[in-house]
Structure 1
């Protein structure tokens, strides 16, 4: 995936010195859900600092690996780290929190599901919308790929894990359609009247309908109040000694009031 490069560029053909040539490059790799926020962070920060921020969003697992092997300054994850991913030299910083919205086609009459119903749908135990108050139509289940932090968090929250030979594996039905990102999954749901999926709350727009879970609509207010329980952290992960001084300064800036205002503007939950 091509990185989005954020920094200052002078007019083409100008004889003036291009500050980007001497700027420190900060590499950030990981979650596709965190990527939009990180791009805005990078664009804002680069306006007042001599840096170029490169952001790539191949997924949370890739971001955590990049932090471990030192191939990037900072990794991004939209789920908690697994025990196998934790280490004494791996640091985790919460930069925001996000809800996960369960979404259906706008024409679907269903408005609310319980966590148990969502879990049964994704396990393939509930297969028709009439079983949850909808039309007599088969449910088309859409999920994210296994490297997705959104999927990892969703599986944890909805109890979609099972043990096989002592190992914890996904309990999501093999018949589920797989999307590679928030955008693709949203498009899949928006184009199929009988589909169901889950996306970052900050990605919800008029193209899909977000369902209430346990009687609570997904919103920043409901998450802050503790009513809407389908939520996860947005993490920056790094290895001690790997990030440049500039990268650590950028990370420290993310925790400031100015940066956390951007978090709120992006429809996410600030840490302040």
Structure 2
């Protein structure tokens, strides 16, 4: 009887213990923009620390922050800042509003097909396109062809960033096709000659990156322009934790912020935070 009771209690404890609490395993979840970077960090970290397993999964910034709130991830990856409502949910369950750690920089990039003659647009022109006010490429210096819009799903931090910083908080055009990750957006634009999409700078393979016009100047999402702030769609990429990092989480974050870890940022195609 005692043995049965003990087994039942053990099972209950196991069910009540978040996945994030398993010894020797560090879970990192969230931003699809950051997945390729954090997976590379995890690979390099595990080579040096074979006793620690780092599990990295995407799903979007909102998904990662929700996992942080319900205790099923150690670290949330987010390509946007945590919202006040998310902090309140975290406070309600864990009596903390979390810890924010910038780990890399990015320039949110708009992509067009390589055959598209358009090379630069203003933020206002991009706003008009994504609100559905501008529907033909000829209106922004391109061919006489309807613009095909690609967007991210609303759980994406990049979706929120573009909505806030390009669309001024307004809703995307109803005909914008939502895709589940930046790689899917890039793939769609690469195949659709009249397409336009957006995402992290590291994903721009097989498509053309648009420069952003400001007055008489044009700025590409380069390391210098992102660092100086000249590129207007620069942003930090974040790790969020419930509390100050310790143990395996601290060791992993220390690695990501080390010179070696920041060199990985550059190799992947993003920009060092330091």
Q: TM-score range by the shorter chain?
A: 0.7 to 0.9
| Distance of 2:97 and 2:164 partners within structure 1 | 25
Secondary structure of the 1:36 match is helix
The alignment's C-alpha RMSD in Å is 1.6
Distance 1:91 1:23, change over 3 A: closer
In terms of mean alpha carbon deviation, does 218-227 or 192-201 score higher? 218-227
TM-score (normalizing by structure 1) = 0.84
Task: Name the structure where helix makes up a greater proportion of residues.
Answer: 2
1:1-272 pair list within 5 angstroms: 24-49=24-49, 50-87=51-88, 88-162=96-170, 171-205=171-205, 207-214=206-213, 215-240=218-243, 245-272=247-274
Deviations 1:166-208 (A, max 9, x none): xxxxx10011111110111011111111111102101112x11
Secondary structure of the 2:230 match is coil
- Post-superposition, which runs of at least 4 consecutive aligned residues in structure 1 deviate over 4 A? none
TM-score (normalizing by structure 2) = 0.84
Residues 33 and 200 in structure 2, CA contact (< 8 A), matched pair in contact too: yes
Deviations 1:83-120 (A, max 9, x none): 21225431111000111111111111111100000000
Residues 130 and 167 in structure 2, CA contact (< 8 A), matched pair in contact too: no
Residues 92 and 237 in structure 1, CA contact (< 8 A), matched pair in contact too: yes
Residues 23 and 52 in structure 1, CA contact (< 8 A), matched pair in contact too: no
| Distance of 1:159 and 1:197 partners within structure 2 | 14
1:167 maps to which residue? Answer: none
Number of corresponding residues: 241
Larger Cα-atom Rg: 2
| Distance of 1:82 and 1:177 partners within structure 2 | 25
| Distance of 1:271 and 1:184 partners within structure 2 | 26
Secondary structure of the 2:145 match is coil
| Distance of 2:256 and 2:221 partners within structure 1 | 25
Secondary structure of the 1:106 match is coil
| Distance of 1:40 and 1:23 partners within structure 2 | 22
Residues 68 and 238 in structure 1, CA contact (< 8 A), matched pair in contact too: no
5+ residue gaps, structure 1? 1-21, 163-170
The CA deviation at 1:244 is: 6.3
| Distance of 1:25 and 1:231 partners within structure 2 | 32
The CA deviation at 1:225 is: 2.3
The CA deviation at 1:39 is: 0.7
The CA deviation at 1:31 is: 0.6
Residues 103 and 208 in structure 1, CA contact (< 8 A), matched pair in contact too: yes
The CA deviation at 1:226 is: 1.8
| Distance of 1:46 and 1:139 partners within structure 2 | 44
| Distance of 1:73 and 1:101 partners within structure 2 | 29
